[in-house]
Amino acid sequence: MNKVALITGAAKGIGRAIATRLAKEHYNVVINYLTSEKEAIELKQFLSSTYNVEVLVVCADISKENEIDNMISIIEKEFGGVDILVNNAAVDLSNLWNEKNIDDFKKTLDVNVLAAYLLSKKVAKHMIENKWGRIINISSTNGINTYYPVSIEYDASKAALISLTHNMAIKFAPYINVNAIAPGFIGTESELNGYDEEFLKSEQEKILLQRYGKPEEVANLVYFLVSEEANYINNTIIRIDGGQLGSN
C-alpha cells in the first residue's frame, strides 16, 4: 500500500512541486489548500491521471484547530492516517515597519508555527503506532541568518519553526524523523511579485550560483528526506539556497 503524504499549502508554488514529486514516486497525496480551489482541483486531476495514485483535496484553514481536526478526520476515513507530513503552508505579510500590527504578527505565527505544531502532534499518533513517520518543516534562510525588518514576523516564525523541528525530533524519536528545509530565494510567482528589479538583481548577486532556486529543487530534497535512503537523517536543518551569502 502506498504511503500517504499530507502537504499543506499544496495548490501552488513549492507545495505543488512537492505534491507532484511525491505522486511521481507513488505516494498517495493529500492536497491541503485554503483559497486556491481551482488550482487544487486541477492538480488532483493531473496527479491522478498522470501517476495513477490516490489524491485527496481538503480545504482547511490551518490557523484554526477545529479545521485541522476536521481535515485529519477526513484523511483518516479515506486513508487511515498520515505517514508523511510536509508543513509547507505559510503567510508572509511583509510591509513597512510603521504599518505593522499585532494582528498580522499573530496571524503569521498561527499559520507558520502553531499550525505546524498542531498538525505534527495530531498525526504523530498514527506514525508512532506504525513505528515509521516523516515530518518535514519548510522553514527559510530568513530564519537562520538572513533578516529583513519588513518581514520581521515571517523571519521570527521561520526561526521558531527550526526550534520546533529540534524539539519534535527529540519528542517523537525513534520512530519519526523530523527535519527542516530552509530554502533561500526560490523563483515562485508569489516570491517574485511585489519586488522591484533592482532589489531582485541585488538579491541574485548574493547567490553563488547566480540564480534563483526552482520549486522542483526543493521538492527533490523533500523526496530524498522521506525516502528510505535518508533513514539516518534526523533533527537536521538543510539549507537549499545556491550558496546564499549570509545564510550560513
Active-site residues, by number, are 154
Cβ within 8 Å of residue 51, ≥6 positions away = 23, 24, 26
